[in-house]
Amino acid sequence: MCGRYAASFSPDDIADEFDVDEDRTDEHARSVLVNPQQPPAGAPDWNMAPTKQSTVVLTRVPKDDPDNAPVRQLRLLTWGLVPSWSRDTKVGLRMINARSETLLDKGAFAKAAVDRRCLVPADGWYEWQVSQTATDAKGKPRKQPFFIRRGDGEHCAFAGVYEFWRDKSKDADDPDAWLTTFSIITTAAEAGLDRIHDRQPLVLDREVWQHWLDPDTKDPDEVRALLESPPPGRFEAWPVSSAVGSGRNNGEQLTLPIGRDELRGVTDPTTGEIIGA
């Protein structure tokens, strides 16, 4: 996964779909961005990129009453996981994805995989296919962006893990003393999609959401079983404009298919045909 997805909804749009008990996206959350996020965090964003704050679903036991049942929440978290032991937040740029095959073995992700799992709602994601036949102006293999989504029209629910990082330079009562970040779990791309890229996000179906978010799911073997990819065939994909490559661009037009006459050296993910060779 190259690090872009579409989230064209507001928190209100997905609260019911994801059975959310509390929408807490209006609460202050520390950002790592130097300039204000555009579009604003929590607003529809067709070009979600690392370091932005994104809407995430997680389940937490209330601090003021730990005997109560866990509460499913919507929160704004920063994309790019910063482990609790990191000296600073820069490492988050290298940790936007976590491989399912090694999730429970890597020090940066293992604890979160057992204790802090989340769902990342999305319309779909972007991936760049490296051409086998066409080159760009610099003589390098041409890269064609694709948009990939569920074929049934449902939102995607990317499996994710999240972490808390404490800024020791700030007082405990400073609202920016804590940064909460997340990583999207990836797995091997299924047949067809592997003609676009060899990895894809792990998209969980609705029937496993509760188990994935349940704080009582702590056995590593249980977690490992949830990382198994569902059967192939759930997704559809098409080539889109290269405009998605710039974070300054946004809007539904980024997800719209481009014409066949605009393609050069593109492999059809369904048939394997080379278009515009």
Residue 63 pLDDT greater than 90, yes or no: no
Give the pLDDT band of residue 66 (cuts 50, 70, 90).
low
Average pLDDT on 214-220 reads 95
Q: Which of 27, 101, 118, 127 is catalytic?
A: 127
User: What distance in Å separates the CA atoms of residue 104 and residue 113, rounded to the nearest whole number?
Assistant: 6
How many angstroms from the chain centroid is the CA of residue 92? Answer: 14
Of the chain, the percentage scoring pLDDT greater than 70 comes to 99
Interatomic CA distance for residues 221 and 48, integer angstroms: 32
pTM for the complete prediction? 0.96
- The single residue of 2, 22, 154, 262 carrying the catalytic annotation is 2
Question: Does residue 246 surpass a pLDDT of 90?
Answer: yes
Mean pLDDT of the chain: 95
- pLDDT higher than 70, residue 216: yes
Quote the percentage of the chain above a pLDDT of 90.
95
Contact (Cβ atoms closer than 8 angstroms) between residue 148 and residue 4: no
Q: Is the dihedral of CA 45, 58, 234, 220 positive or negative?
A: positive
pLDDT at 44 over 90: yes
Q: What confidence category does residue 73 fall into, taking pLDDT thresholds of 50, 70 and 90? A: very high
Q: For the chain, which residues make up each domain, given as ranges?
A: 4-128+152-236
Q: Residue 118 catalytic?
A: no
Does residue 1 carry a pLDDT above 70?
no
Residue 56 — very low, low, confident or very high, per pLDDT cuts 50/70/90? very high
Separation of alpha carbons 14 and 155, rounded Å: 9
pLDDT digits (tens, 9 = 90+) for 46-55: 999 999 999 9
How does pLDDT run across 150-205, given as a tens digit for each residue? 999 999 999 999 999 999 999 989 999 999 999 999 999 999 999 999 999 999 99
Separation of alpha carbons 134 and 97, rounded Å: 29
CATH 3.20.20.70 fits 4-128+152-236, yes or no: no
